[in-house]
Amino acid sequence: MANRHDLPLGFRWGASTAAYQIEGAVDEDGRGRSVWDTFCERPGAVRDGHTGAVACDHYHRYPEDIALMRDLGLDGYRFSIAWPRVLPTGSGPVNPRGLAFYDRLVDALLAAGITPVPTLFHWDLPQALEDDGGWLNRDTAHRFAEYTAVVADRLGDRVPAWITLNEPFVHMVYGYALGIHAPGRTLLLDALPTAHHQLLGHGLAAAVLRERGLEVMIANNLTPVRPASDDPADVEAATAYDALHNRLFTDPLLRGSYPDLSAFGVTEDLGGAVRPGDLKLIAEPGLDGLGVNYYNPTLIAAPTDPGLPFAEAPIEGVPRTAFGWPVVPDGLRELLVHLHEVYGEALPPVTITENGCSVADEPEDGRIHDRARIDYLDGHLRAVAAAVEQGVDVRGYFTWSLLDNFEWAEGYHQRFGLVHVDFETQARTPKASYAWYRDLIAAHRGRSAA
Ligand code: PNW
């Protein structure tokens, strides 16, 4: 396997976060409510009733967090903009104090020599829009494009590249199909229009960004899908799952069409959501980069439940993270090479926009020895280098996450950070993985300069 130092010259090193997971300050400076504020109030929705009301208090502590990023040597920082801070009811009047926060954040990043990489939607929809149907309502796509214009007009002079959506698949499945995330709806396959409306929102927002000369990316959580055996029933199930998880969110962008979802009993117009011209609106603006969030591969077997054309099978014989997710670094190489094979010339340069793991790493003598995270990151970076060696154009790697943070339905129980956060005192303590990543970045830069 390739050495991680074989990554190309100019390869960009980063870390990622998301607004609701770190900012806190949910009632400050005129921020409106988001679906996550509402969801966290629902009994039993989030472990131990945790909420993002304070989180890492990044809204106030961002200068300290940027100092940590600067010392880490990051080229880029991926964060998300909270739509309800900018437009408290999702559309209509702009909240200048909300927008001013991101203005300060961007300036402070630039002063530290770090490129800001904002995500426009990381799941915190304004509650007022959810009250009108959220992503089930086609109008939300138009509201998203208007919001994009407001933010791009303010920050576009300093921010070159933008990510529209984070993981539309997880948002559809967890948020609207299974009710594990906000808005907590349990529509099963009737959630499919939310895939189309998010993608339409992406396309409309991409056009807005393009008109302003800005670059456009999307961050999809993709997974290599492996059949549990070479039994044709398992292979068929794996194909069906791949269409739902991966191709539903990449084919329309890179090929201008939806994959065949007939195994799910779903028509080509996704239950009537797709109107003539929509696929053109989604594909035409094009993508300057594909963001890939990778955590683990998926093993799929023939269905056991008559309602679905697949069953997920456990991946055995590999380590697991504190979250219980299987650790399979080579799955990232497999995924990248597969994308390159399937989409060929249509695949834009790839950036890994998330990759990381939860480690139960409580401080010991004031230090956090998160060996498991170092092994995880090291293995996955070697997998990226191997994919590059096999011809995939990968431009950067953003680890999830800079800080321990509010891990959605798990509350503060899963710690993904390079930096430990004590949620009582808000003390930040860089972990062993932070020093490791800093040294790796410095070494790569030294080689690039040599
Ligand atoms: C991503 N899954 O979410 C999100 O983009 C982050 O906000 C989140 O903190 C991070 O990964 C870690 O979970 C995911 O179950 C949530 O497959 C669930 C899954 C994948 C990604």
Give the residue, by CA position, lying nearest to ligand 1 atom 14. Answer: 170
Give the residue, by CA position, lying nearest to ligand 1 atom 2. Answer: 170
What is the SS3 assignment for 34?
strand
pLDDT at 365: 85
352 CA from centroid of ligand 1 (Å): 14
Distance CA 292, CA 143 (A): 25
157 CA from centroid of ligand 1 (Å): 31
For residue 126, the 8-state DSSP code is: B
Beta-bridged to residue 293, according to DSSP, are 221, 354
**Contact (CB, 8 A) for 127 and 32:** yes
* Residues whose CB falls within 8 Å of the CB of residue 35, separated by 6 or more in sequence, listed in order: 123, 124, 125, 126, 127, 130, 134, 175, 182, 183
Catalytic site positions: 167, 354
Burial 438-449 (b: 16+ CB within 10 A, else e): bebbeebeeeee
Q: Which atom of ligand 1 is nearest to the CA of 408?
A: 9
pLDDT at 3: 64
| ipTM, interface predicted TM-score of the complex | 0.88
- Hey, what's the torsion of the CAs at 168, 315, 339, 261, to 10 degrees? -60
Distance CA 121, CA 139 (A): 16
Give the residue, by CA position, lying nearest to ligand 1 atom 3. Answer: 170
Pocket of ligand 1 (CB under 6 A): 18, 21, 166-167, 170, 221, 293, 295, 354, 400, 407, 416
* Residues whose CB falls within 8 Å of the CB of residue 157, separated by 6 or more in sequence, listed in order: none
pLDDT at 305: 87
Mutate to test the pocket of ligand 1, among 293, 299, 321, 413 (most ligand atoms within 8 A of CB): 293
pLDDT at 447: 76
Mutate to test the pocket of ligand 1, among 46, 355, 408, 416 (most ligand atoms within 8 A of CB): 408
Mutate to test the pocket of ligand 1, among 170, 218, 373 (most ligand atoms within 8 A of CB): 170
Q: State both tokens at 362.
A: 């409580």
93 CA from centroid of ligand 1 (Å): 32
Q: Where on the phi/psi map is residue 265: left (φ > 0), alpha (ψ -120 to 50), or beta?
A: left
* Interval 129-167: pLDDT, tens: 999 999 999 999 999 999 999 999 999 999 999 999 999
pLDDT at 274: 98
What is the SS3 assignment for 196?
helix
Distance CA 155, CA 164 (A): 14
Instruction: Enumerate domains of the chain plus CATH numbers.
Output: 4-449 (3.20.20.80)
Give the angle subtended at the CA of 406 by the CAs of 431 and 125, to the nearest 5°.
Answer: 140
pLDDT at 4: 67
Q: Which residues of the chain have pLDDT under 50?
A: 1
H or E element: which one contains 278? Answer: helix 278-283
Per the annotation, does 295 bind a ligand?
yes
Q: Is the peptide bond before 401 cis (omega within 30 degrees of 0)?
A: yes
pLDDT at 1: 44
Q: State both tokens at 318.
A: 């590999």
